[in-house]
A and B are shown apart, each in its own frame.
Chain A
Amino acid sequence: AQSVSQHNHHVILSEAASLELGCNYSYGGTVNLFWYVQYPGQHLQLLLKYFSGDPLVKGIKGFEAEFIKSKFSFNLRKPSVQWSDTAEYFCAVRFNKFYFGSGTKLNVKP
């Protein structure tokens, strides 16, 4: 069955540290890939998406993600996190429908 895995359930970083959140999916066909963020008390918002083309995707707020087809991965990165990045991050993959990962809670210490 198709699935989306986020390996890190809870990540704690200090400000200015670099971030990488893992996302892997299990499906060999064409996919669309997304990262969503949910700030405390707010709804899910799109950070970035990949449909085709350059596998390195730039999103809002300095986030980027790289699609590596051979590894079935779409990891989210940010070179230097800020306290305001504290949120829960969800990876989503669209095969015939959307599949979401279980989310990663990021706590950034000021």
Chain B
Amino acid sequence: GAVVSQHPSRVICKSGTSVKIECRSLDFQATTMFWYRQFPKKSLMLMATSNEGSKATYEQGVEKDKFLINHASLTLSTLTVTSAHPEDSSFYICSARGVQGSDSYEQYFGPGTRLTVT
């Protein structure tokens, strides 16, 4: 099946610094990528939808100036957490959607990135 990677898998940063997380589709082109945040014992919360070559669409309540998303190519989307604070500590997961067709709504998930802000 399709493979999506994320880098780094874990990152610890100091409060006030910025952190970039990469999401790559390894064996397919993804015109759309999604960024989720997973809270302990809670469901995945969609943060934003990233479309290649255009601005990301953010969900209500997600600060676009804080969570910068760039989708510069069909295989790479990045999420930058700017001026991180301890409350930004979480598990961030990306997913990529395949090309149009029967699987057009199927998402392939990355392994996630554990962010800890100290």
Residues of A bordering B, CB below 8 Å: 4, 9, 32, 34, 36, 42-46, 49, 51, 90, 94, 97-103
Contact = CB atoms under 8 A, between A and B. Distances in A.
Nearest to B5: A43
A90 B43 contact: yes
A98 B46 contact: yes
Contacts of A42: 111
Contacts of B93: 43-44
B63 interface: no
Contacts of B49: 97
B33 to A, nearest CB: 12
B109 A36 contact: yes
Contacts of A97: 46, 49
A43 B43 contact: no
B85 to A, nearest CB: 25
7 contacts: A4-B43, A44-B109, A46-B106, A90-B43, A94-B105, A99-B43, A103-B43
B51 to A, nearest CB: 13
A49 B106 contact: yes
B89 interface: no
Interface string B75-118: 00000000000000000010100000010011111111000000
Nearest to B39: A102
A35 to B, nearest CB: 12
A79 to B, nearest CB: 25
Nearest to A10: B41
Nearest to B3: A43
A53 to B, nearest CB: 12
A102 B110 contact: no
A99 B42 CA distance: 12
A94 B43 CA distance: 14
B44 interface: yes
Given A32-B105, A43-B93, A99-B46, 15 more contacts: A36-B109, A42-B111, A43-B109, A43-B110, A43-B112, A45-B109, A51-B102, A51-B105, A97-B49, A98-B107, A100-B43, A100-B44, A100-B45, A102-B42, A102-B43
